[in-house]
Structure 1
Amino acid sequence: MKILLIGEYSRLHNSLKEGLIALGHDVILLSSGDYFKKFDTDYSFHSSFTSGHWLPRKIKNIIHKLTGIDLSKAERGLRFYLLLPKLKNFDHVQLINSDAIETFPFLSRLLYKKLFKKIKNRSLLICGDETPVIDYLLKKETDYCILTPYFENNSLKNHFEYPLKYAAKNYRRTFDWLSENCRNLITSDLDYKIPMDKMNYKTHFIPNPVNSNKIKFQDQEINEKIVIFLGINRSSYIKKGIPYFEKALRIIQEKYPEKVTVIITENIPYSDYINRYNTAQIVLDQIYAIDQGYNALEAMAKGKVVFTGGGNDFIDHYNLKERVNIHATPNIDSLVNEISFLIENPEAIVVIGNRARAFIEREHDHINIASQYLAAWK
């Protein structure tokens, strides 16, 4: 098959591409590279002019402030349009989400319609914020979720501009059109499967693909100090519960000044990010999650002890008898207690890290996952 993958936010599509190629398929990936993360892509619709040069960026910011219009979205839409003549003879196309082109919703629909005239078999991946997911979270039926800080303090609304946009009329219209014109809806983890089920959407649940061949397992050598890593993305700082980690780390550093080293990074490219935590035994990923996001999975593949989603729904789904990560909740005392246990019992770091790697190889192997995608597409 000749397959087109559109959009990339986490390396999910890159890993899926590698699995599909290993199975003998021809795959092309289009994306913006996702800003500072700079993910690999075959063709790019990155807004390099309005984002990469001082004067256009300054003009863009002024226009956005005065009118609310984001010229970067217009540039991405234009660049995608210019790529359309190259997108021929594909057997299947998959979108990373309904905003895969990262342009204005009306322009997205226009571009999707042009693309879909050429490609009849299509799928829509739900692996992040999406209209039915946000609709479900806004019902407040869970103990906590990524919108909890917004529910608790409406003044934080600006921090939730990205997820809340999917509840707006124009984005909702795009999702509804895609759900009618894509053969398959696919969810990548339980944080999206459960809301989609609750909102009565039928989806294929296929776990995130991880190419363990590219991720070297690291035996967790415990030296005099335990290294703890926290990578911050400012755009999702509140949404991922980073303030809880920061407060817990301050307590840990006061409690164990001679036993821990803390590494904190902010808004760095993906290639730098994955290298920065190589020396860490513990990685703090996110609060408010049921399942693991992509950064957490890659850290687990390296044998790190990752604080992320790992509660009862996750344990039950994968029938786990022992912990493969640490379930991070919006509770500072719980976080401090869990980190303290690992510092005082470093042998647990080795054991959980080994389990984490085995779990990734068993449940997230990129070639096996690629086979599941092929089955769903057919």
Structure 2
Amino acid sequence: MKIALIGEYSGFHTNLRDGLNELGHNVVSISDGDGFKNFERDINLKSNNKNKYLRVLDYIKKVGFDINYIKDYDIIQFINPIIPPFLNLNINKYFINKLINNNKSSFLVCAGDDALVWDYWESGNNENLRYSWIKGTIKDYIAENALPYWENENILLWNKELIKEVNGIIPIMYEYFRPYSQFIDKVRAIPIPINLDKIKFSENKVKNKLIIFHGLNRYFAKGTNYVEKAFDILKSKYPNDLELIIAGKLTYNEYTNIIKDTNVIIDQVLSYSMGMNGLNSLAMGKILLGGNEKENNDLLGYEFNPVINITPDVKTIVTSIERVLDEKHLIAEKSYESRQFVETYHNHVDVSQKYIDFWLKKL
């Protein structure tokens, strides 16, 4: 099949493209590389022009001419109804509708906050969550003196309009599945694909100190405020046993380099699930603290999950790290469990086949 993957989310479409290629399909990826993360792509939507007027001309060329080559594809798939860098609603609608009209079938992946997800959880449905990233996200935007673009009512209407247009919808985790479950005839949750051929596994060995890393990105939404407080407590209690690192705004290559010697990764505190960074860390053989709630495990069919579940509670984070420290002699053994989990549930070829099966079912 001829397949076009439009948009990027922390390497999601890059990994899916790799798996589909290995299964013999003809795949093109179209994105801006997910901003500073700069993932590889076949058609680049990013403009390097610093002059805003020349940048607009670049975007007009990309939307008006470059995508004309994407015609008569069997499958086109979007990540979210707004495709960066085209944050302007009208440009997005033109861009996406043109692709839908020029190709045979279209699908929407739910990965990251979009207008429908935001509206669902902000409208009181989050009472069913024991904890949520919503309030943290609002704090992040207030700190930047901005509002989430998806709070725009017109973008929500466009989100709902697009749902009617596409053949199917694929949420990647529980937090995104719940809002879209109202369209259950179109929806199937499928795990995130991870290309294990690109991620080297190394037995997780503790040297002088147990090294723990937390990525600084979306400070309140990820729960970094809780991690910082936990680290302050741990630094004073275990100055000779722990090396605690918080760093952010890293490209994918910078991120993988900094965690090569890391033993433990703290992912998102306010999530029921794991994202790309968490899964990449597990594939490398790291111990992961993050989202491991029953709701997501049941949805994605996990029969085992090595992630240490943490919640927005400083004491819980501290005690979880203390337990890892007490059992550091088991870390090398547990690193194999981390890799096995990703091999079992997130292998990019197996996940790509699940996408193909779903696409064909909805054609």
Question: Shift in Å at residue 368 of structure 1?
Answer: 0.7
Question: Shift in Å at residue 322 of structure 1?
Answer: 5.7
CA pair 172-258 structure 1, distance change in 2 beyond 3 A = same
Question: Shift in Å at residue 145 of structure 1?
Answer: 0.8
Map of 1:337 onto structure 2:
319
1: CA distance between counterparts of 2:137 and 2:213?
A: 26
Question: Shift in Å at residue 312 of structure 1?
Answer: 2.4
2: CA distance between counterparts of 1:342 and 1:331?
A: 17
Whichever residue aligns with residue 3 of structure 1, its letter is: I
> What is the SS of the residue equivalent to 1:238?
coil
Question: Shift in Å at residue 192 of structure 1?
Answer: 1.1
Map of 2:17 onto structure 1:
17
Tell whether 2:42 aligns with 1:42: yes
1:252-263 correspondence to structure 2 within 5 Å: 252-263=234-245
- Root-mean-square deviation (Å): 2.4
1:151-230 correspondence to structure 2 within 5 Å: 157=142, 164-197=148-181, 202-230=186-214
Question: Shift in Å at residue 289 of structure 1?
Answer: 0.6
State whether residues 6 and 101 of structure 1, in contact with CA within 8 Å, keep that contact through their aligned partners in structure 2. Answer: no
* Structure 2 residue runs without a partner (length 5+): none
- Pick from 70, 75, 78 the counterpart of residue 95 of structure 1: 78
Report the TM-score, using the length of structure 2 for normalisation: 0.90
CA pair 173-156 structure 1, distance change in 2 beyond 3 A = closer
2: CA distance between counterparts of 1:321 and 1:377?
A: 25
1: CA distance between counterparts of 2:213 and 2:107?
A: 36
Question: Shift in Å at residue 194 of structure 1?
Answer: 2.5
Query: Which stretch shows the higher mean deviation, 338-347 or 17-26?
Result: 338-347
Q: Deviations over 1:157-188 (max 9, x none)?
A: 355957x4324212112212211111011111
2: CA distance between counterparts of 1:198 and 1:352?
A: 39
1: CA distance between counterparts of 2:240 and 2:287?
A: 20
> What is the SS of the residue equivalent to 2:65?
helix
2: CA distance between counterparts of 1:212 and 1:315?
A: 21
1: CA distance between counterparts of 2:96 and 2:6?
A: 11
Question: Shift in Å at residue 73 of structure 1?
Answer: 7.8
Q: Deviations over 1:314-364 (max 9, x none)?
A: 344466676511112110010001011111220343343322211111111
State whether residues 76 and 101 of structure 1, in contact with CA within 8 Å, keep that contact through their aligned partners in structure 2. Answer: no
State whether residues 241 and 330 of structure 1, in contact with CA within 8 Å, keep that contact through their aligned partners in structure 2. Answer: yes
Map of 1:2 onto structure 2:
2
Question: Shift in Å at residue 254 of structure 1?
Answer: 1.3
Whichever residue aligns with residue 26 of structure 2, its letter is: D
Map of 1:358 onto structure 2:
340
- Pick from 289, 309, 322 the counterpart of residue 271 of structure 2: 289
Whichever residue aligns with residue 290 of structure 1, its letter is: Y
CA pair 74-372 structure 1, distance change in 2 beyond 3 A = farther
1: CA distance between counterparts of 2:275 and 2:145?
A: 18
Tell whether 2:262 aligns with 1:280: yes
2: CA distance between counterparts of 1:323 and 1:208?
A: 15
Question: Shift in Å at residue 98 of structure 1?
Answer: 0.6
* Structure 1 residue runs without a partner (length 5+): 51-55, 61-69
1: CA distance between counterparts of 2:308 and 2:164?
A: 39
Query: Which stretch shows the higher mean deviation, 360-369 or 98-107?
Result: 98-107
Query: Which stretch shows the higher mean deviation, 321-330 or 167-176?
Result: 321-330
1:3-152 correspondence to structure 2 within 5 Å: 3-50=3-50, 56=51, 76=59, 78-103=61-86, 104-138=88-122, 139=124, 140-141=126-127, 142-149=129-136
Query: Which stretch shows the higher mean deviation, 5-14 or 237-246?
Result: 237-246
Map of 1:243 onto structure 2:
225
Query: Which stretch shows the higher mean deviation, 37-46 or 108-117?
Result: 108-117
State whether residues 106 and 170 of structure 1, in contact with CA within 8 Å, keep that contact through their aligned partners in structure 2. Answer: no
CA pair 101-115 structure 1, distance change in 2 beyond 3 A = farther
CA pair 101-258 structure 1, distance change in 2 beyond 3 A = closer
Q: Deviations over 1:124-157 (max 9, x none)?
A: 1101112222122111322211113367x7x963
Q: Deviations over 1:64-87 (max 9, x none)?
A: xxxxxx997885465333312222
State whether residues 267 and 278 of structure 2, in contact with CA within 8 Å, keep that contact through their aligned partners in structure 1. Answer: yes
CA pair 246-199 structure 1, distance change in 2 beyond 3 A = farther
> What is the SS of the residue equivalent to 2:91?
helix
State whether residues 324 and 353 of structure 1, in contact with CA within 8 Å, keep that contact through their aligned partners in structure 2. Answer: no
Q: How many pairs does the alignment contain?
A: 356
Query: Which stretch shows the higher mean deviation, 364-373 or 223-232?
Result: 223-232
1: CA distance between counterparts of 2:245 and 2:35?
A: 23
